Structure 1
């Protein structure tokens, strides 16, 4: 008998690009899959940064039949949800690392390797055009995304979604479905007023968009450099956010956790360029320098799942 899943949705979102959304999306998905959980990684950002990290930015979303001119959309094209067609994920095979029970013995490695699969739903540039078209009303568009996301809950233990850097239709749908959200905040050159504005907007739409399913916010101070005074000052501001939420009308009862700062490391930029998940890249090339990052990633994944 096939297993029945009751998957949790965890959105990765913030109102700014280039802050680490895609990095943490793929790293958290890897962490869950590494725990033996059936995991879906979903790119719903029309910029398709996460998709580009795996497949390049020229991912083929459709083809046109030369004989009759009919456009034929790929089975993995996310915009199929607007045509009432199923979207099939791309299965990504990566490496899982297991402690070797014979480690320490002559010629025995510390870790054993085996294959591990993660289902990936890629994005493409058409997603923005479909979302902004007049073919559907705003509420219809939100409902289409919500229905798609909720349909994944019966197929996966964990659904990690990379959201667009805005409070638009797609992000609203993700928030409506998510049990917890992860918000990366860079600790350099940050507009503190903009950071506060993000949470005030979230508080404003909490009732109007019915985000009652959302129960936890996890914050990641990202790109931290302890040598830079601006990083330390911004880190202090980020740690004040839970207090800020207690002063809001609708977010005050949500759990809010600020994780340990995530350092700025070259491996974070290098892994996507080689089409690697971050953790396997570290294990294969930079284990001695960056193994602490793997523990930080696992701690973030655990915190997202801990709902009181």
Structure 2
């Protein structure tokens, strides 16, 4: 059975795309069939894999509008046999105006992916930094949510709003959705602030942090890592840029945890 996972947080710059891309790649290297849907108009997940947006014949915007079916927009990624991607484009910014208010708005994406779900073990959705129509569509289409949380000031600000949105969707449109967990990102162990944010998360959401099987009693955290930040400019996920870096290890651990619970 396919699990659809949305990576969501309305704050920008917290590592959503980094998480979506590298979790998808790590699952795919375990020979799981993975589809990554770039659902952000900025299309950063698309460009991370070296895909030039002006060379794409069909993207998720065309799929939502009905001019292409989703299978026509799927791209097989080089060097990653088990990972496919549906690219995005700036056109997606017009989703709410063009489609959302004219159709059964909250279920458009869910309906579009229904035909291909059986072809994949996981579908990972990279959502935009907002709790608007796109993120709501992603959540309605999903079985679960992973929330990256930057280990910096204001990290928990707005989290209640996201949790409330998930609750409303669970109560109205998607009763099966669950929060898979919170993923601390950009962690710097030498900084008091990073340690404090992690402590706050542990205190309030300890049951929703991912346990690190390699370090007893600790959680999976994604460190602030230069190699992780560099890898998109080379058109590669971190696993194919520097597999032994601390950032790569963190996402491999996360994929391992998810596979155990699949």
Could you say which TM-score interval applies, normalised by the shorter chain? Answer: 0.7 to 0.9
- Counterpart mapping for 1:169-248 below 5 A: 169-208=133-172, 210-242=173-205
The equivalent residue for 1:124 is 89
Distance 1:277 1:45, change over 3 A: same
The answer to whether 1:60 aligns with 2:54 is yes
- Counterpart mapping for 1:26-105 below 5 A: 26-55=21-50, 59-60=53-54, 74-76=57-59, 78-87=61-70, 88=72, 89-94=74-79
1:256 to 185, 208, 220: 208
For residues 21-49 of structure 1, what are the alpha-carbon distances to aligned partners after superposition, in whole Å with 9 as ceiling and x for unaligned?
11111111111111111111110111211
1:84 deviates by: 4.7
1:141 deviates by: 2.9
The equivalent residue for 1:155 is 119
Distance 1:78 1:268, change over 3 A: same
Q: Which runs of 5+ in 1 are unaligned?
A: 1-5, 63-73, 96-115, 244-254
CA contact under 8 A between 1:190 and 1:234: conserved in structure 2? no
**TM-score in terms of structure 2 length:** 0.85
CA contact under 8 A between 2:100 and 2:133: conserved in structure 1? no
CA contact under 8 A between 2:32 and 2:82: conserved in structure 1? no
- Which secondary structure does the structure 2 equivalent of 1:14 belong to? coil
The equivalent residue for 1:304 is 258
1:124 deviates by: 0.3
CA contact under 8 A between 2:60 and 2:92: conserved in structure 1? no
Q: CA RMSD in A?
A: 2.5
- Which secondary structure does the structure 2 equivalent of 1:19 belong to? coil
* CA–CA distance in structure 2, aligned partners of residues 31 and 128 of structure 1: 29
* CA–CA distance in structure 1, aligned partners of residues 259 and 10 of structure 2: 23
CA contact under 8 A between 2:185 and 2:222: conserved in structure 1? yes
The equivalent residue for 1:110 is none
CA contact under 8 A between 1:30 and 1:277: conserved in structure 2? yes
Q: Which runs of 5+ in 2 are unaligned?
A: 211-218
Distance 1:203 1:84, change over 3 A: same
The equivalent residue for 1:277 is 237
Aligned residues: 252
More strand by share: 1
More helix by share: 2
* CA–CA distance in structure 1, aligned partners of residues 36 and 98 of structure 2: 29
1:13 deviates by: 0.8
* CA–CA distance in structure 2, aligned partners of residues 151 and 241 of structure 1: 39
1:146 to 88, 110, 130: 110
1:85 deviates by: 2.4
For residues 150-205 of structure 1, what are the alpha-carbon distances to aligned partners after superposition, in whole Å with 9 as ceiling and x for unaligned?
33312211111101112222211221222221111010122433233322333344
User: Which one has the largest radius of gyration?
Assistant: 1
- Runs of 4+ with deviation above 6 angstroms: none
For residues 125-144 of structure 1, what are the alpha-carbon distances to aligned partners after superposition, in whole Å with 9 as ceiling and x for unaligned?
00111x12255526523222
- Which secondary structure does the structure 2 equivalent of 1:193 belong to? coil
1:272 deviates by: 0.3
* CA–CA distance in structure 2, aligned partners of residues 200 and 47 of structure 1: 25
